[in-house]
Structures are given as C-alpha cells and as structure tokens.
Amino acid sequence: MFLPKKVLEEKIRKFLEEDVGQGDITTSLTIPPETIVEAEIVTNESGVIAGIEEALAFLESFDFQVKLLVSDGSMVSKKATVLSIVGDARTLLSIERTLLNLLTRMSGIATITRRLIEKVSRAGYKTRISCTRKGAPGLSYFDKKAVMIGGGDIHRLHLDDLVIIKDNHLAVVGDISKAVKKVRDAVSFSKKIEIEVSKDNEALEAAKAGADIVMLDNFSPQQIKKTITLLEKEKLRSKILIEASGGVNEQNILDFAATGVDILSFGEITDSVKALDMSLEVVKVRSKT
C-alpha cells in the first residue's frame, strides 16, 4: 500500500488539526521561540514497528531532520530507539501526540497480526490471517497498512474492492442463487464474489451458485468441519475459498485453523487495538538559532 507523500501528509495533518484546535497554549507559554531540540522516540515494550513511512512524511513536512533507526516490519525490544528528530521545539511538542498516536496504533496492530500469524505457522497450518472493516472512521488506510506490515491480509480496503453479499443483502433479495446471478451478470470479471452464510446448506448453495469465497459467519470449529465435509462430498471444496469469521480470537485460533479453512478474519485486530507503548523523549536542548 502506498499513498503519494502529499496525500499522506494531508491525511495526517487533519488528525493534527483536530488535536491542536486554535493552538497549543501550554507550549506557546512555556517554550521560547526558535528553540531547537534533539529528541528520540523510544519503545516501552517489545513489538513490531509500523508507521515509519507515515512518521517520516509527517515530520519532514514540518522541516524536521529525521534519522530512521528501524524500518517498518522490524521486531524491536523494549527501550529500542525507533527514530531521532532534530528541529523546532514548539512544533515538536505540539505535534508529539498526533505522531505517537499514529505510530503506537499502527505498531500495535502490526504486533498482534504478526503474533497471530506466527502462532498459526508454528502449529503447521497455512491459514491466512485477515482483518475486517471494523475500526475507527478515518483510520482505515493506516490500520490496513499496519495489518499488511504485520504480514496479514487486508481483505478489502473499500466497498468497491470485492462483492460481499451479506445477511442483510439476502434478507432483501431473498435467495442466494438469485443474488449471485444478479451480481455475476453485472459485475466486472475482475471482482470476486463472496457470500456470507450462517448454515452449512447455505454454504453448499453459495458454492453451487458460483461464489468464489464462502464466509462461514459465527460457525464453531465443529460446524466448519461438517460444512467442509459436505462441500467435499459434492466436489465443491476445491472450487472455493472458505473464510471463517466471528468468534475467532487469539485463544481459540488454532481450533479454527485446524478445520482447514483458508482464511480467518479478525475484527479485534483493528477494532480493539492495544497500542504499542512508546514515548518521545527530548534528549538535548540547543541554544536559540
């Protein structure tokens, strides 16, 4: 995932505008103008770093000199220095929280994603780990990029990436086969079609109708195994991807991976984020320029 630098800067500056309001009164009253400082961003726990590209673009847009000490995707230990910064003290203290919020959130998402993937891989399964569209408005790009940096699948970034016919669509249309045909007759060849189902017979109907992906919504591992067996008997298993979503978490992930599903999607990766703890520390104050 890549955004042009100017577009990226604009997105992050909107976060800053929300935080700063009419100005940072504390900094303006306590810090003399034109004071130059050296500072570092340091981790307070181990984890996977994400958001380096965003931090660099943000800081350079304010003319800071930045030295990157780790790259996106790096696994770091506690007390690791992520980057060093030299520049105007007033500006740095005013943008500090916006900078840290983005870095710590993205790194927290990348960390849990990597941990889930490694847990599945160590157990010998090839199940892909994906996020969902659950998350805070305005942060979709950053959250999804963090998942990607952690090694996960972003599923879909926008509604136009993929056709997903969910329960409420079916409640209106009334029939899985009818819904798939309606979409297949109109959508581009480049778009895959996914159907969300809540019963094993619906999974079979979706596969027969020509869906590319069948999402088993809130199925238990036992129900998933039963559904896969049903699809295998009908010689349909190899023709579709099977995604399981709902009820999957870090504690039971191996139970779900053992069923043979292709994809496990987690809302909690992005909607229940534990940020990776980091701090910005001023390490030297220079004389006025």
With CA atoms as reference, report the closest residue to 36 among 70, 56, 63: 63
- Beta strand 241-245 pairing with 263-266: parallel
How far is residue 146's CA from residue 54's CA, in Å, rounded to a whole number?
11
Phi, psi angles (nearest 5°) of residue 280: -105, 120
161: left (phi over 0), alpha (psi -120 to 50) or beta: alpha
Average pLDDT over residues 87-113: 97
Q: Give start and end residues of each alpha helix (H) in 150-266.
A: 167-173, 176-184, 200-209, 221-233, 253-257
Into which CATH architecture does domain 5-109+274-285 fall? Answer: Alpha-Beta Complex (3.90)
Domains 5-109+274-285 and 117-271 share a fold: no
Average pLDDT, the chain: 94
**What does the chain come to in residues?**
289
Judged against a pLDDT cut of 60, whether residue 5 lies above it is answered with yes
Give catalytic residue positions: 134
How far is residue 172's CA from residue 25's CA, in Å, rounded to a whole number?
54
Question: How wide is the angle at C-alpha 135 spanned by C-alphas 132 and 141, nearest 5°?
Answer: 80
How far is residue 86's CA from residue 100's CA, in Å, rounded to a whole number?
16
pLDDT of residue 287: 66
How far is residue 265's CA from residue 267's CA, in Å, rounded to a whole number?
7
Question: How wide is the angle at C-alpha 68 spanned by C-alphas 64 and 70, nearest 5°?
Answer: 155
Helix (H) or strand (E) holding 215: strand 213-217
Judged against a pLDDT cut of 70, whether residue 195 lies above it is answered with yes
Q: What is the pTM of this model?
A: 0.94
- CATH number for 117-271 (one of 3.40.50.10860, 3.20.20.70, 3.30.450.20, 1.10.1740.110): it is 3.20.20.70
CB contact at 8 A, 194 and 179: no
pLDDT of residue 174: 87
DSSP codes joined into one string, 4-18: -HHHHHHHHHHHHHH
Q: Give start and end residues of each alpha helix (H) in the chain.
A: 5-20, 25-30, 52-60, 89-122, 140-149, 167-173, 176-184, 200-209, 221-233, 253-257, 268-271
Residue spans of the domains in the chain: they are 5-109+274-285, 117-271
Judged against a pLDDT cut of 70, whether residue 187 lies above it is answered with yes
- Band of residue 288 on the pLDDT scale cut at 50, 70, 90: low
Judged against a pLDDT cut of 60, whether residue 289 lies above it is answered with no
Give the model confidence (pLDDT) of 213-242 as tens digits.
999 999 999 999 999 999 999 999 999 999
